[in-house]
Amino acid sequence: MLAVRHAHERGTADFGWLDSRHSFSFGHYYDPQHMGFGALRVINEDRVRPGAGFDTHGHRDMEIISYVLDGALEHKDTLGTGAIIRPGEVQRMSAGTGILHSEYNASDAEPVHFLQIWIVPEAQGLQPGYEQKAFAEEERRGRLRLVGSQDGRDGSLTINQDVDLYTALLAAGEEASLTLRAGRKAWVQVARGAVEVNGTALAAGDGAALAEEDAVAIHAREASEVLLFDLR
């Protein structure tokens, strides 16, 4: 079974400094039919104007992943972490018992375009934590590169949940696939480009929920960047 969440169906929020698209219910956008998918709770596609950003605010009991597509995102938190996330880098912040952080466009001239992803952790009350890693472009070209997992294998970020997160950069005509273990499901998010997932066409901003499938096969119709979540 494959169900498409089209880009134009997503919730929206436009504050001038922020243009956001919500694949699942978030903030003032509520849709009982789209509350998440398994442990995957939020996928927001955010564009932040130069010099603007999210002031210091709190989170708890959530795994928050930032995936930058263009520009640079500056992160600061109460753990004393200060970092800039650029394309090819992925950050995981475990909010756990509670954390305050801010996110700003690190440039005064260029917008930043990124995906903010929330994953419900395996347990509440975990110790807050932070991790950021860079994944070279050649590691993601023409293949699915594991960038997040519960056990941190293959140099991926560690996520406090039974989820594997992959990303791929595919040229037109290239294919990548993943076999799903029994009882697993998957979500594919098209960050840019156009692909076919198990024969179904998806465009930039589209997502696809897959359940009771043996595998996920992604065929790029044009140069594309995709994320794939393998979920319990």
Looking at every residue in the chain, the average pLDDT score rounds to 96
Partners of 89 in the beta sheet?
Answer: 134
Instruction: Please state, in angstroms and rounded to a whole number, the distance separating the CA atoms of residues 28 and 11.
Output: 9
Asked if 190 and 167 count as a contact pair (C-beta separation under 8 A), the reply is no
Domain count, the chain: 1
Confidence of residue 138 (pLDDT cuts 50, 70, 90): very high
Helix (H) or strand (E) holding 176: strand 175-179
Task: Give the pLDDT of residue 75.
Answer: 86
Give the predicted TM-score (pTM) of the model. 0.96
Which comes out higher in pLDDT, residue 57 or 139? 139
* Structure confidence by residue, pLDDT tens digits, 68-118: 999 999 988 777 778 899 999 999 999 999 989 899 899 999 999 999 999
Shortest CA distance to 130 belongs to which of 78, 194, 206, 188? 78
pLDDT at position 54 over 90: no
Asked if 169 and 141 count as a contact pair (C-beta separation under 8 A), the reply is yes
* Structure confidence by residue, pLDDT tens digits, 208-217: 999 999 999 9
Long-range pairs, 75-79, Cβ under 8 A, ≥24: 75/101, 75/102, 75/103, 76/101, 76/102, 77/101, 77/102, 77/130, 79/128, 79/129, 79/130
* Structure confidence by residue, pLDDT tens digits, 21-34: 999 999 999 999 99
Confidence of residue 191 (pLDDT cuts 50, 70, 90): very high
Longest dimension (CA), the chain: 48
Range of the domain at 203: 2-231
CATH number at residue 122: 2.60.120.10
For 116, the token pair is 């903010």
